[in-house]
Amino acid sequence: MARALGDDGRVSIGSLELEHPVLNGSGTFDAIAALRTFGDELRRRFPFAGFVSKTITVSPRGGNPPPRLWETPAGLINSIGLPNKGLRGFLQHDLPELATLPVPLIVSVAGFSYEEFRHLVAEVAERPQVAAIELNVSCPNVKSGCVMGSEPDETGALMEVVRSLTSKPLIVKLTPNVSDVAAVAEAAERGGCDAVSLINTLRAVAIDPDTGSPWLGAGQGGLSGPAVRAVALAMTLDVAARVRVPVIGMGGIERGQDALDFFAAGASCVAVGTESFRDPAAGTRIRDEMVALLAKRGFESAQSDFAKVSEPTKK
Amino acid sequence: MSGATPPEVEVGLAAPEPGPRVEAPFGRRACPVIATESVGAYRLLAVEDHHGPAPLPGQFYMLAAADGWGGEAGERPYLGRAFSVCRSRGTRLEFLLERIGPGTDRLGRLSPGEQMLLVGPLGIGFSEPAAPSSTGVLLVAGGIGIAPIVTWAEALIASGAQPLTLAGFRSRAHTSAAQLLGGDVQIATDDGSQGHDGFVTELLEAELEHDDARAVYACGPPMMLEAVRAICARRAVQAQLALEEAMACGFGACFGCVVRTTTGYRRICVDGPIIDARDLDETWLER
């Protein structure tokens, strides 16, 4: 597999240059709300090497009816429903503010048809403030009724629609709710994506103990947190073995060792999601812990270290 | 995010007027527990916070025990738990809790010397009444919801106002918390074991019948807040409500703690927890 990670710990994904290999998972950190809460200290100590926006859609969305959260053993089920201001609102209100962050901006988009994806990618990619685009393919295609990231053919067809629209890096965010995630990753790669990221949340349900009915307002949601880490690692291992593009691994990363496990499984970059809910500065802490662990093992440069760490997994 | 098709709901992310807020230090910090105390059926937990600013009344913190956070019933808790500040004295922060689940069970067992992990102050605080009324301010507290009312009453008294607090509890076992309050207090209990026999909102009706030129501030269970909202709406009385909801993050990241307002869903953590009662959609409690 090709490694996007340099000796100095920098990561390249197409034209996207990251100073270190820790991102946020889309939808797990609202930088605008965080700036209101933590002020300029957030800019000075920004925990991620790049900022991945919450997913935007063509039309504004209010999101799912509450309740939207359920705590599980070492995890969280959420059913948020992609609330966002819509493409127009995002470009007008959020993009100028996100452009003030000290790191490259990766905008996550989701369409409910190929046409919507085409519109989103074309409009977002032409903005100079946008360094890369992540395609959230966990939404159903209203025409086929099929989740676009659930079948290699659907994902391949999507890439055919969007790839020619921009030379900026396109990252496909893979859903784990499929029978063969690596086959979907291969289709994304064949279609010209610059990287794949995984995993999105695992489909999950919580039952209200008082009523015996589903707890979440939308009925079902997605599971994240340490509860999914072992599953995410297995999928990262599968995908990294079958594609050459960089893999951004995520799923329950809580400590530096967890992140190293994902590098060992073949990831070139990791993302922190639910852990940021518990500790807003988790991205920085996890990176510091990783560096300390590698130093303790006598490794000096990031690439050789991660390569060595990955040795046992290579067949 | 889930791949489920969401039902159509009203569109738009409600952006209210920015309320008063003190910014939090970025990240999570460890603070030692310095005192714990039983207050009737509740528990008061005091921590020493050397690195945070003094919070505004109505702001809250996400709390977790530094050790043993995860080994309670059902292998929980996992996420932090949101608590309004009950009292703040210099670097000393006090929180009031009731043991109702794995998170509050663990927090309730903390002893002085143990470490607590804390993020905050978060959210927006109470705002002074728009048109200061000479006749004072009405505070309404329900159960554990008395916590932010205690610190708000203190601030109001310090600014020269004369708040009257109406405090409702399930029973006499819980009313000791009213001793934390400054100013005038009337008590109601659901079982009539102390004070007015009935709901605290009955006391509110009576007070507003007597004088409805007072601003109302309330914190308590959802049904009580809805009653306060409806009463104040009927009489065109200004009211601010301190809402509570399960939160994953407390700083607007997860979009999990929304409430239905007249302009769409609003995040209670970052655009609340203090919300103008007029902004709530009348159906906010319906599922």
ipTM of the shown complex: 0.93
pLDDT of A141: 81
A139 contacts in chain B (CB < 8 Å): 3
Q: How far is A68 from chain B (nearest CA, A)?
A: 5
Whole-angstrom CA distances from B248 to A39, A190, A202, B30 are 20, 38, 18, 19
B264 contacts in chain A (CB < 8 Å): 62
Region A25-47 average pLDDT = 97
Mean pLDDT of chain A: 93
pLDDT tops 50 at residue A315: no
Backbone angles phi, psi at B5, to 5 degrees: -75, 120
A 141-180 residues with CB < 8 A to B: 147, 175, 177
pLDDT of B8: 34
What is the pLDDT confidence band of residue A300, given thresholds at 50, 70 and 90? low
Whether A73 sits inside 8 A of B74 (CB atoms) is yes
A222 vs A3, which has greater pLDDT? Answer: A222
Give me A43's structure tokens. 């800019």
Q: How far apart are CA B252 and CA A279, in angstroms?
A: 13
Q: Which of B18, B248, B265 sits opposite A76 (nearest CB)?
A: B248
Q: Which of B23, B78, B265 sits opposite A83 (nearest CB)?
A: B265
Chain B CB within 8 Å of residue A200 CB:
yes
Region A259-267 average pLDDT = 97
Whether A39 sits inside 8 A of B23 (CB atoms) is yes
Q: Are strands A269-272 and B29-39 parallel, antiparallel or unpaired?
A: unpaired
Question: Which of A118-122, B61-65, B155-159 has the lowest average pLDDT?
Answer: B155-159
Nearest to B220 by CA among B236, B197, B204: B204
Q: How far is A109 from chain B (nearest CA, A)?
A: 12
pLDDT tops 60 at residue B9: no
Q: How far is B251 from chain A (nearest CA, A)?
A: 6
pLDDT of A305: 55
What is the pLDDT confidence band of residue A304, given thresholds at 50, 70 and 90? low
A221 contacts in chain B (CB < 8 Å): 2, 4
Region B188-205 average pLDDT = 98
Q: Are B77 and B70 in contact (CB under 8 A)?
A: yes
Q: Is the Cα torsion angle A49, A54, A57, A60 positive or negative in sign?
A: negative
Whole-angstrom CA distances from A315 to A1, A230, A234, A237, A238 are 11, 20, 15, 11, 12
Q: What is the pLDDT of residues A81-109, one digit of tens each?
A: 999 999 999 999 999 999 999 999 999 99
Q: Would you mind telling me the total number of residues written for chain B in this entry?
A: 287
Nearest to A276 by CA among B119, B37, B268: B119
pLDDT of B132: 54
Whether A33 sits inside 8 A of B287 (CB atoms) is no
Q: How far is A79 from chain B (nearest CA, A)?
A: 6
pLDDT of A9: 80
A 242-281 residues with CB < 8 A to B: 274, 276-281
For A149, the closest chain B residue by CA position comes to B3
Mean pLDDT of chain B: 92
Q: Is the Cα torsion angle B9, B13, B15, B21 positive or negative in sign?
A: positive
pTM for the full model? 0.94
What is the pLDDT confidence band of residue B197, given thresholds at 50, 70 and 90? very high
Q: How far is A130 from chain B (nearest CA, A)?
A: 21
pLDDT tops 70 at residue B134: no
Q: What is the DSSP letter of B165?
A: E
Question: Which of A200-204, A307-311, B82-86 has the lowest average pLDDT?
Answer: A307-311
Whether A217 sits inside 8 A of B264 (CB atoms) is no
Whether B248 sits inside 8 A of A69 (CB atoms) is yes
Q: Which of A34, A65, A274 sits opposite B7 (nearest CB)?
A: A65
Active site residue A269: no
pLDDT of A302: 57
The span from the first CA to the last CA of chain B, in angstroms, equals 21
Helix (H, G, I), strand (E, B) or coil at B20: coil
Identify the H or E element spanning A159.
helix A152-162
Whether B4 sits inside 8 A of A84 (CB atoms) is no
Name which of A37, A197, A210, A255 to mutate to probe chain B: the one with the most chain B Cβ atoms within 10 A of its Cβ: A37
Q: Which of B23, B28, B252 sits opposite A30 (nearest CB)?
A: B252
From the list A139, A146, A193, A269, the catalytic residue is: A139
Question: Which of A81-95, A137-151, A205-219, B144-158 has the lowest average pLDDT?
Answer: A137-151
Q: How far apart are CA A182 and CA A184, in angstroms?
A: 5
Region B262-268 average pLDDT = 95
Nearest to B238 by CA among B267, B200, B208: B208
Q: What is the DSSP letter of B53?
A: P
* Percent of chain A topping pLDDT 90: 88
